[in-house]
Amino acid sequence: MMKNLILIQPNGILKRIYPRAVWNMDRSKKKIYLTFDDGPIPGLTEWVLDELKKFQVKATFFCVGANILKHYQIFERISHEGHVVANHTMFHSKGFKHTVTDYMREVDDCAKLVGNSLFRPPYGQLKRAQYKALIQKGYRIVLWDVISYDYETISGERCLSNAIRGRRNGSIVIFHDNLKAEKNIKYALPLFLEDSIKNGYTFECIPLSQDALAL
């Protein structure tokens, strides 16, 4: 169940393997960068959008291309409401299981849908050659420094405390709008937003890079 833990551990070795990936933003500003992975899906992504609207918070959605095509109206709603839609491959593919060519094709196809260079590898997995190809093409690889583990079989309370305990200035926080995480995110997200706002944090989208992609 926890086999991905080593891969997504943000400290230490992965920072050395992916030195140009973004793990957090400016530590001197009281801002949090909320991110949602794996959508858009009917119901849950819409619920997330409603919550963000309630708290007047903007976030970044790392979307799976196949889900964008299936649920195009929800995809449009995300950008229409001022959030950023970013790339999470076409089919949520594991880097370790794909050749560089196949992986990059999926990434490029999803980039055409989202229209920017922000990219998050599913499971935080990348082969060294995939990492290099992404950087070379101008992708901005965005990882995270706070993970709620909403997709694991933990309680909603635990998921909330994971997010709150990890939270710092400039944190990139990851939640999932997928069905595995539904119970936990529905418990934790509103309370996390409320608590962060009470503690003086504001929320921003991950800034888009000005560099053009070499597609």
The rounded distance, in Å, linking the Cα atoms of 182 and 56 is: 21
Contact between 40 and Zn ion (CB under 5 A)?
no
Query: Cβ-closest residue to Zn ion?
Result: 37
Q: Which stretch binds Zn ion (CB under 5 A): 96-104, 116-124, 188-196, 197-205?
A: 116-124
Output the smallest distance, CB 90 to Zn ion, in A.
12
Out of 25, 35, 38, 67, point to the residue binding Zn ion (CB under 5 A).
38
Contact between 37 and Zn ion (CB under 5 A)?
yes
* Beta strands 146-147; 172-176: pairing state: parallel
The rounded distance, in Å, linking the Cα atoms of 135 and 141 is: 8
The pair of structure tokens assigned to 36 is 């949602």
**Which letter does DSSP use for residue 124 in this model?**
G
Contact between 46 and Zn ion (CB under 5 A)?
no
Which residue lies nearer to Zn ion by CB, 37 or 106?
A: 37
The set of catalytic residues is: 37, 176
Q: What is the DSSP string of 162-180?
A: HHHHH--TT-EEEEE-SGG
Contacts with Zn ion by CB under 5 A lie at 37-38, 122
